[in-house]
Amino acid sequence: MKNFFLTLVCALTFSSLANAQIATENVVQFDKTSTRPGFSATFSNDVKDVTTAVKNRMTKEAPKKKAVSAGKNLTKYEAVSSNNICLQTCDVYFLIEGNSKSAKVTLFVSKGYENFVSSSNDQETADLAKTFVSSLAKDIETVTLANQIDAQAKIVSKAENEYKKSVSNKEKLQKELQKAEDNVKNADAERQKQKALLEELRSKAANQ
């Protein structure tokens, strides 16, 4: 059974990693009025899991930085110093869009006001950004598996409770059945006793 669950976890992990696209660079709608160069990948996971995974990863990359809403589905981390994203201090934006089946993550990296990174102005940082977005697959799968395990644990707990309830009902029914059988046995004994007494009385009456 242990090996089965280990195989299942590995299969789910490789499946998710296989379904993740390699991050690509695109010009993406940044806000209502403008576009910016960004680095995107789509993952076959619930958008809630993806959002949590990005948040968890950024807690590691920039532990002292707090996420700030910068628009619909857009989150900003100011003055981030992480060599996994940018070799200098940068503002980092995450646009996360999707549903329960898939989610698209777009990373925007800014080195200053309106100075957004692209491969045309900073190839090295652009490569880092694409690698970072692609690497989120592992973080996302960790969150997804944790949620699946939690959900399955609740299902198992419910099944265990139903089992215990059924066993308890069975024991109760067995006791009631035993009591009923005892009642039948006692009633039959009493019936035979009273029948014998009746026959005895009839016999006496016949001999008078």
Is residue 63 a contact partner of residue 158, using CB atoms and an 8 Å limit? no
Q: Give residue 204's pLDDT band: very low, low, confident or very high (50, 70, 90).
A: confident
Average pLDDT over residues 141-150: 95
Total length of the chain = 208
Q: What is the pLDDT of residues 4-63, one digit of tens each?
A: 444 444 545 544 444 556 899 999 999 888 999 999 999 999 999 999 999 999 999 999
* 45 domain residue, yes or no: yes
State the residue range of the domain holding 133.
Answer: 2-151
% pLDDT > 90, the chain: 69
Q: What angle do CA 124, 129, 133 make, to 5 degrees?
A: 150
Question: What is the total count of domains within the chain?
Answer: 1
* 190 domain residue, yes or no: no
* 167 domain residue, yes or no: no
* 171 domain residue, yes or no: no
* Both tokens assigned to 107: 């990373």
- Give me the CATH number covering residue 139: 3.30.310
* Both tokens assigned to 153: 């644990």
* 178 domain residue, yes or no: no
pLDDT at 21: 65
Is residue 31 a contact partner of residue 59, using CB atoms and an 8 Å limit? no
Which residue has 């898939």 as its token pair? 102
* 137 domain residue, yes or no: yes
* 196 domain residue, yes or no: no
Residue 1 has pLDDT above 60, yes or no: no
Q: What is the pLDDT of residues 151-161, one digit of tens each?
A: 999 999 999 99
* 184 domain residue, yes or no: no
